[in-house]
Amino acid sequence: MAEDGGSDSTLTVVVALVANVLVAVAKSAAAALTGSASMLAEAAHSWADSGNEVFLLLADRRSRREADADHPAGYGRSAYVWAMFAALGLFVAGGAVSVTHGIQGLLSPEPAEDFAAGYAVLALSFVLEGVSFLRSVRQARPEAASLGRDLLEHVLASSDPTLRAVVFEDSAALVGVVLAGAGLGLHEVTGSPVPDAVGSILVGLVLGFVALVLVTRNVEFLVGRQVDPRIRAATVRAILALPDVDRLTYLHLEVVGPRQVRIVGDVDLVGDERETAVALRLRALEARLCESAAVVAATLSLSAPDEPSLEA
């Protein structure tokens, strides 16, 4: 009924965390050796990404907590809260720092040196970031195919904020490495630190854009978002296929966490039994719907005779 299959988002985030820590250490060393503004911006970017992965691991873990009396629909939405912290961290610790340092580089330019070390670190960074990016794409591609989406559409629409964050952050990291390399190369060729400082500013702007996209998507899911129409149609078909259900006249599907939905619906049951028997049958249907790992809560009521039927 909901997005396909069990999530291996934890592994995706762990791969991204390891890659980002290694890259951050290497870039920091290269920034110290070269004095490059864009390299320092990239180091700040990678350290911000590393901290963000910790938030994403918390998002993934907290969202999997079982429902209880205080949270009958589970803790799924907590994933969007922690993912929001990660996006804000990317904006402040990555984007704002990079832009600020780039502006300082324009106002007080300093020459860079030991360019070879910078190029070597950027090449290593591109490989490590590429491994993390391919891991996230490998997770997203089959999910997208199962829902008839292209890859970008699925990453944007997915209810899994950790997958979206890793894909976008790794994409930004690869773009940032290219920008830093261009800035460093132009610095070496021209002898002017201006292209290097401009590279730092561009890295910051890329990070700011990515952070804005991630914040916007997390806000949408926190406020409450209906599921994809294709998932809704599949849910209608699944409910109508239940032996006790004659008609379905109302259906509300709300995303309450990564790959988690809450179902509220009105059904017309087969037969014409007494009220107590009907109540038991409704509770049985709700329990059956909740057998799906994607359904954290289901509430069914009886349809009125004059209500139109829903069709898949």
Q: Which of 205, 223, 241 corresponds to the end of one domain?
A: 223
CATH of the domain at 24: 1.20.1510.10
Write out the residue range of the structural domain in which residue 72 sits: 9-223
In a domain, 308, yes or no: no
> 142 and 76, same structural domain?
yes
Q: What is the end-to-end Cα distance of the chain in Å, rounded?
A: 12
> Total domain count for the chain?
2
- The rounded percent of the chain whose pLDDT value lies above 90 is 27
Q: Is the pTM of this model over 0.85?
A: no
> In sequence order, which residues have a C-beta less than 8 Å from that of residue 277 and are 6 or more positions away?
none
Tell whether the model's pLDDT for residue 128 goes beyond 50.
yes
- The rounded percent of the chain whose pLDDT value lies above 70 is 97
> 92 and 145, same structural domain?
yes
| CB contact at 8 A, 192 and 106 | no
> In sequence order, which residues have a C-beta less than 8 Å from that of residue 218 and are 6 or more positions away?
80, 81, 83, 84, 87, 161
Q: What is the CA radius of gyration of the chain?
A: 25
> 188 and 281, same structural domain?
no
With CA atoms as reference, report the closest residue to 169 among 6, 23, 8, 27.
23
In a domain, 3, yes or no: no
Tell whether the model's pLDDT for residue 116 goes beyond 80.
yes
In a domain, 136, yes or no: yes
pLDDT, tens digit, 9 for 90 and up, residues 152-192: 999 998 899 988 998 998 899 899 889 988 988 998 899 88
- Between 194-223 and 161-190, two packed helices, what is the crossing angle to 10 degrees? 170
> 104 and 244, same structural domain?
no
Q: Which of 223, 251, 279 corresponds to the end of one domain?
A: 223
> 178 and 134, same structural domain?
yes
In a domain, 173, yes or no: yes
> In sequence order, which residues have a C-beta less than 8 Å from that of residue 193 and are 6 or more positions away?
37, 105, 109, 110, 111, 112, 187
Report which secondary-structure segment, H or E, holds 295. Answer: strand 295-302
pLDDT, tens digit, 9 for 90 and up, residues 249-262: 999 998 988 888 99
CATH of the domain at 250: 3.30.70.1350
In a domain, 148, yes or no: yes
